Homo-oligomer: A and B are copies of this chain.
Amino acid sequence: MSKALPTRSENYSEWYNELVKRADLAETSAVRGCMVIKPYGYSIWEKMQRALDDMFKETGHQNAYFPLFIPKSYLSKEASHVEGFAKECAVVTHYRLKNDPNGGGVIVDPEAKLEEELIVRPTSETVIWSTYKNWIQSYRDLPLLINQWANVVRWEMRTRLFLRTTEFLWQEGHTAHSTSAEAVAETKQMLEIYAQFAEEWMALPVVKGVKTANERFAGAVDTYCIEALMQDGKALQAGTSHFLGQNFANAFDVKFQDKEGKLEYVWGTSWGVSTRLMGALIMAHSDDSGLVLPPKLAPIQVVIVPIYKNEEQLTQISEKVSEITKQLRKKGISVKFDNNDAYKPGYKFAEYELKGVPVRLAMGARDLENNTVEVARRDTKTKETVSLDGIVDQISALLDNIQESIYNKALAFREENTYKVDTFEEFNKVLDTKGGFILAHWDGTSETEEKIKEETKATIRCVPLNSVEEEGVCIYTGKPSSRRVVFARAY
């Protein structure tokens, strides 16, 4: 709290880094690229987990747990999969340390070398499909709808807290089906669940779409995604759902006997969201004073700060507050009464602003007299003094209002920052002056996509599911195109 945050306009990147640290969300660790998720940050993640987990279970999925380690040969079984992950694998080669007989301290014991190296899972398709081989014999064993909450490791050269870390936490769903249609339906269902979670819980509007071949998950036939727009005009991929076709069933020889007794390869999907969502949540809503959290994910929804000159006043305020607190909690609203005497109200106000607590109540001597309380909302930074009569219902409604309002603000921002462009010149101009989502025609080739990426650092975020057919020409090659895709520079 010693000095102000960098502002977003000054240095968006620094603003983000400082905010994550100062709001006690996470910090870097001694292990390069790995983060420590601090209690306040973790409690937001726990709320995300709970909401998502409930949605997965409501749609018939069960949780399970698969090994952290993957034998190197497993990773290699699906050709494009290993191609995609080989460059960022943490490899376990030994299983013991010992004291150096030459006095060099504790060293790796060369005699404890593994016959086959183990990869710390970057994702679990291979180990899970090798298991599914034993679980699936008949159509009666399908569909198999499983999810796992786990940590995964991808050795990243340039890392940023939550957005790109060597180790991250996520959930990965892995399902198996007897028909292609059913697997595609599952892939789309999970995309819808992610979109619903992003919009209803994170107050984050997202574009649903499908990735181009270039941006597809290594081993997938199709990758669906949700894409969100951050305040600096960059896109962030917030979740992906993959239709795997029969690729992993082929690689691991997973077949089932259909109703007619014929042996067929199984159809698969996988889908995941990660602690990256924390980054999206922070960057989408927060401002130069700190975090702005949607009430549904805020660890503390209401903070109450007493303003008093003496012990007697504090006692009176505490009594008044305890009634309100009890009633709010009864409604499932999380409340903190901060009567810590070591800090002044002004300090506390700044602290809860930084931490993004949606509603702050302040009560002083005059409020006691008048039966009122000052209600401040974090998102708009407005405040008003209101009567205590009916305060509980009012706060409950206010929290709903804030949730909706944050969403609407983010939606309006995205709409203002979505541009249709028809020439490459215009494309470059928008990219460099405004950023945002750019809807443009593209000739459908990976080659053109690559060239645009090289020249502009913008990628095709997705082909939106709701895009309409429209005749046009590729902004880069002038070749014909039948629909616009979403371009953006991205995290």
The interface of chain A, by Cβ under 8 A from chain B, is 27, 29-31, 34-39, 42-43, 45-46, 62-72, 74-76, 82, 86-99, 105-106, 108, 117-120, 127, 130-131, 134, 140, 146, 150-151, 153, 155, 167, 169, 342
Q: Known contacts being A62-B39, A65-B169, A151-B68, is A97 close to B89, with CB within 8 Å?
A: yes
CA distance A67 to B275 in the complex (A): 14
Q: Known contacts being A64-B38, A75-B106, A155-B95, is A31 close to B89, with CB within 8 Å?
A: no
Partner of A76, one of B87, B105, B108, B131: B105
- CB atoms of B71 and A30 under 8 A apart: yes
Q: Known contacts being A106-B82, A131-B29, is A91 close to B94, with CB within 8 Å?
A: yes
- CB atoms of A91 and B93 under 8 A apart: yes
Q: Known contacts being A30-B74, A92-B90, A155-B96, is A43 close to B69, with CB within 8 Å?
A: no
Partner of A67, one of B69, B119, B167: B167
Q: Which of A30, A75, A95 has the most CB of B within 10 A?
A: A95
Query: Within 8 Å CB of A167, what residues of B?
Result: 67-69
Q: How many copies does the complex hold?
A: 2
- CB atoms of A95 and B106 under 8 A apart: no
- CB atoms of A43 and B72 under 8 A apart: no
Partner of A63, one of B39, B86, B98: B39
Query: Within 8 Å CB of A74, what residues of B?
Result: 30
- CB atoms of A46 and B64 under 8 A apart: no
Query: Within 8 Å CB of A92, what residues of B?
Result: 90-93, 120
Query: Within 8 Å CB of A99, what residues of B?
Result: 86
Query: Within 8 Å CB of A153, what residues of B?
Result: 68
Partner of A127, one of B29, B46, B90, B127: B29
Q: Report the minimum CB–CB distance from A86 to chain B (whole Å).
A: 4
- CB atoms of A93 and B68 under 8 A apart: no
- CB atoms of A34 and B67 under 8 A apart: yes
Query: Within 8 Å CB of A43, what residues of B?
Result: 62-63
What residue of chain B has the Cβ atom nearest to residue A128's Cβ? B36
Query: Within 8 Å CB of A88, what residues of B?
Result: 95-96
CA distance A211 to B309 in the complex (A): 53
What residue of chain B has the Cβ atom nearest to residue A39's Cβ? B62
What residue of chain B has the Cβ atom nearest to residue A62's Cβ? B39
- CB atoms of A87 and B94 under 8 A apart: no
Query: Within 8 Å CB of A169, what residues of B?
Result: 65
Query: Within 8 Å CB of A120, what residues of B?
Result: 68, 92, 120
What residue of chain B has the Cβ atom nearest to residue A126's Cβ? B30
Partner of A34, one of B45, B69, B72: B69
CA distance A58 to B37 in the complex (A): 21
CA distance A62 to B95 in the complex (A): 32
Query: Within 8 Å CB of A87, what residues of B?
Result: 96-98
Q: In the A-B complex, list the 7 residue pairs whose CB atoms are closest, starting with the nearest.
A: A34-B67, A39-B62, A86-B97, A37-B65, A95-B155, A91-B94, A76-B106
CA distance A465 to B95 in the complex (A): 37
CA distance A90 to B114 in the complex (A): 10
Q: Known contacts being A30-B130, A106-B72, A167-B69, is A63 close to B91, with CB within 8 Å?
A: no
